[in-house]
Amino acid sequence: MTRTLPSADRSLVMGVLNVTADSFSDGGRFLQTDRAIEHGLQMHRIGADLIDVGGESTRPGAERVPADVEIARVVPVIEALSAEGIATSIDTMRASVARAAIEAGCAIINDVSGGLADPEMNPTAAELDVPYILMHWRAHSRDMQAFARYDDVVEDVLRELLTRVDEALAAGVRRERIIIDPGLGFAKTADHNWALLSRLDRFVGAGYPVLVAASRKSFLGSLLSVDGTPRPPGGREDATTAISALSAIGGAWCVRAHHVQASLDAVKVAAAWKAGRA
């Protein structure tokens, strides 16, 4: 079984589909299978290049769910979307969930732990021979912010992320299958996130496609706070769209978004800007 890495003449847009009860932005909205499938179809109709299906929340403080629950949430959704010819990625830290998702028709493994949470993930990704997103990660959601300490956040994150890449390669993952993600919000303060975005070129320059996943995250709420009160997730879309445009200008392979239309418009503008033509 093989899957090819999606590409276009612009940055791609990955639509977020949380089949969870407790995700920070839309927890519970798409926990029912039929609602999740319809939302995935809707994002595809709007123009999403990929639908990222996740059955376990990774918001700060989130508790883990059993693997069988995660599989039961995501597999029917992936099967239905795949039957419509829609490319999906599976947002999971478990090799067993990744395998079930790929067997259901999924195209990409998106592991926010970069292969650290499950020692079977790297060999499983190698065996399945699918595109594999490795994100920078230091600890599980319940206590990850205790690990938000760096000497130089850009260089430390890049070094640790490339170590994850080396481990995947050693397990047999092919180089052309690997995508990297600097892991905004995971064991990082708001200032860390902005530092990483400002040096996106360091990650693009590493030679792997780069995913930027900033959509509605808390560092945007902090930036947009009024009288010390952070902007709630639903009010962070304009800021997310700005990051999508800037990431596309900076060479990101893909941006991850809850609001597909806005980010799709943003990456199209960025592509025209860079090319000097429509």
Burial (CB count within 10 angstroms: exposed 0-12, middle 13-18, buried 19+), residue 39: buried
Phi-psi region of 124 (alpha: psi -120 to 50; beta: other; left: phi over 0): alpha
How is residue 153 written in tokens? Answer: 């956040």
**Is there a contact between 211 and 254 (Cβ–Cβ < 8 Å)?**
yes
The three-state (H, E, C) secondary structure of the chain, written as one string: CCCCCCCCCCCEEEEEEECCCCCCCCCCCCCCHHHHHHHHHHHHHHCCCEEEEECCCCCCCCCCCCHHHHHHHHHHHHHHHHHCCCCEEEECCCHHHHHHHHHCCCCEEEECCCCCCCCCHHHHHHHHCCCEEEECCCCCCCCHHHHCCCCCHHHHHHHHHHHHHHHHHHCCCCHHHEEEECCCCCCCCHHHHHHHHHCHHHHHCCCCCEEECCCCCHHHHHHCCECCECCCHHHCHHHHHHHHHHHHHCCCCEEEECCHHHHHHHHHHHHHHHHCCC
Among all residues, which ones are annotated catalytic?
A: 217, 256
Residue type, 175: R
